Amino acid sequence: METTTRQHLETRIVHAGRDATDRTGALVPPIHLAAAFSRESLDVAPAFVYSRRGNPTRRALEDALAELHEAEHCFAFGSGMGAVSGAAMLLKSGQTVLLPDDVYTNTHRLFTSLLPGHQIDPHFVDMTDATHVEAALAGRDVGMIWLESPTNPSMKVIDIAAVAAIGRRHGIPVAVDNSYCSPYFQKPLDLGADIVVESTTKYLNGHDDLMGGTVLVNDGALAERLAMIQYVGGAVPSPFDCWLLLRGMKTLALRMERQQASALAIARYLAGHPRVAAVRYPGLESDPGHAIARRQMTGYSGMIAFEVRGGAEAARRVVNAARLFQRAGGLGGVESLISYPIVGSGASQAGTAMAPSSALVRLSVGIENVEDLLADLRQALAT
């Protein structure tokens, strides 16, 4: 009997989300803009009732994202923070959530400014050593372990499998924000995580023209609760944004391969520059997280963090001198971006022990010619 070989991820990315039952021959799925759907009769359960509960275009997107992550269940949200907030609603009042001490600023804001009002207690841990996670469980009712790898903005690598094993031993769900990698370079569910969160605004879309997020799980009980959170909470993406994201995802493999190759070349250049004090990029053999990254990632993405000698003033001059790199927040798009986290993405931690270094600069490497990007950094560092 002939067996079918599973297609490569690059192929599945291109064809994910296509409706196999469609008889029009359309290569592109349609946009279903309806808010409500009629039912044949009260005795027949309809496929769709109301777009907050479900929409054909959103269903196509969720099916595609589940395919790429090899997940059983997927829930699309209207922004990355909508997805983070949706996953956070799985926590119960009175519980503690463990987070990295380098977590994304708006995740930090959510857990420190909003959720304490619901008796959710955040506790921050240096998760680059998994024994710190184990130790932090003592004396606490921990309802979730939340991590990023690499972290945003400092690019610390956390051993997802090791933390997931701790969560499994204690019956605590582990959630991973995978926005820096996308499923092309990292699949946390395969590493033992229970919940994956991504800002689809970033690499999955890749064109800086929509907001979106997603939460993926394999567990049926978690999926049932997330379905209610998505429906009742209502933070769902529009059908048009779902359609845009389906279109953007088709080039994910091409973009990420180009961005990774350029980022590695740039990281090596920065590592040898006399005005750069330190570089964090997991693709560098010198990076403290390189060995773990090699185990759990299939590639290293396009994000780089580096510290400029001379501190805050020198770092600000480099950022302001950039010409091709755009001074903008966000990441993962085709345009290369440069940012200064202490006054941007890390602003909420300013003045605390969790604040990014005032000398830290973050790059999101796009798809431009790498020689042009290197030339821009060369002249910026010359300032």
CATH of the domain at 371: 3.90.1150.10
What pLDDT sits at residue 353?
Answer: 61
Is residue 228 included in any domain, yes or no? yes
Q: Same domain for 193 and 280?
A: no
What is the average pLDDT value for the chain, to the nearest integer? Answer: 94
User: Can you say how many angstroms the Cα of residue 232 is from the centroid of all Cα atoms in its chain?
Assistant: 24
pLDDT band at 66 (very low <50, low <70, confident <90, very high): very high
| Residue 368 to residue 286: CA distance in whole angstroms | 26
Is residue 262 included in any domain, yes or no? yes
Catalytic residue status for 268: no
Task: Say if residue 67's pLDDT is above 90.
Answer: yes
Catalytic residue status for 184: no
What pLDDT sits at residue 4?
Answer: 58
Residue 54 structure tokens: 């479900």
Length of the chain: 383
| Residue 373 to residue 353: CA distance in whole angstroms | 33
Condensed to tens digits (0 to 9), the pLDDT of residues 152-175 reads: 999 999 999 999 999 999 999 999
What pLDDT sits at residue 186?
Answer: 98
Q: Same domain for 45 and 194?
A: yes
Is residue 235 included in any domain, yes or no? yes
Task: Say if residue 45's pLDDT is above 90.
Answer: no
Q: Same domain for 202 and 326?
A: no
Q: Same domain for 14 and 83?
A: yes
Condensed to tens digits (0 to 9), the pLDDT of residues 352-371 reads: 666 789 999 999 999 999 99
What pLDDT sits at residue 23?
Answer: 73
Q: Same domain for 84 and 159?
A: yes
Instruction: Among 216, 249, 282, identify where a domain stops.
Output: 249
Catalytic residue among 58, 202, 255, 280: 202
| Residue 91 to residue 343: CA distance in whole angstroms | 30
For 15-19, 94-98, 297-301, 346-350, which range has the lowest pLDDT when averaged over its residues?
346-350
| Overall average pLDDT of the 94-116 stretch | 96
**What is the distance in angstroms between the CA of the first residue and the CA of the last residue of the chain?**
67
Is residue 273 included in any domain, yes or no? yes
Q: Same domain for 41 and 162?
A: yes
Number of independent structural domains in the chain: 2
Instruction: Among 233, 249, 265, identify where a domain stops.
Output: 249
What pLDDT sits at residue 15?
Answer: 86
Is residue 277 included in any domain, yes or no? yes
Catalytic residue among 177, 194, 208, 376: 177
Task: Say if residue 2's pLDDT is above 70.
Answer: no
Q: Say which residue the tokens 């202490």 belong to.
A: 342
Task: Say if residue 86's pLDDT is above 80.
Answer: yes
Is residue 3 included in any domain, yes or no? no
R_g over Cα of the chain = 21
Catalytic residue status for 39: no
Catalytic residue among 58, 101, 102, 104: 104
Is residue 1 included in any domain, yes or no? no
Q: Same domain for 159 and 276?
A: no
CATH of the domain at 27: 3.40.640.10
Task: Say if residue 345's pLDDT is above 70.
Answer: no
Catalytic residue status for 202: yes
Task: Say if residue 262's pLDDT is above 50.
Answer: yes
Question: Which candidate, 21, 58, 18, 23, places its Cα nearest to that of 37?
Answer: 58
Vertex 211, ends 67 and 359: CA angle to 5°?
105
Helices vs strands, H then E, count in the chain: 13, 12
Q: Same domain for 201 and 316?
A: no
pLDDT band at 46 (very low <50, low <70, confident <90, very high): confident
Q: Same domain for 231 and 268?
A: no
| Overall average pLDDT of the 217-245 stretch | 97
Condensed to tens digits (0 to 9), the pLDDT of residues 10-30 reads: 999 888 887 766 778 888 888
Is residue 4 included in any domain, yes or no? no
Catalytic residue among 12, 18, 19, 52: 52
For residue 288, the one-letter residue type is: P
| Overall average pLDDT of the 121-125 stretch | 97
Write out the residue range of the structural domain in which residue 290 sits: 252-381
**Residue 142 is inside which H or E element, if any?**
strand 142-148
Instruction: Among 234, 249, 264, identify where a domain stops.
Output: 249
What pLDDT sits at residue 352?
Answer: 61
What pLDDT sits at residue 1?
Answer: 46
Q: Same domain for 165 and 256?
A: no
Q: Same domain for 140 and 260?
A: no
Q: Same domain for 129 and 185?
A: yes
Instruction: Confirm if 288 and 255 have CB atoms less than 8 A apart.
Output: no
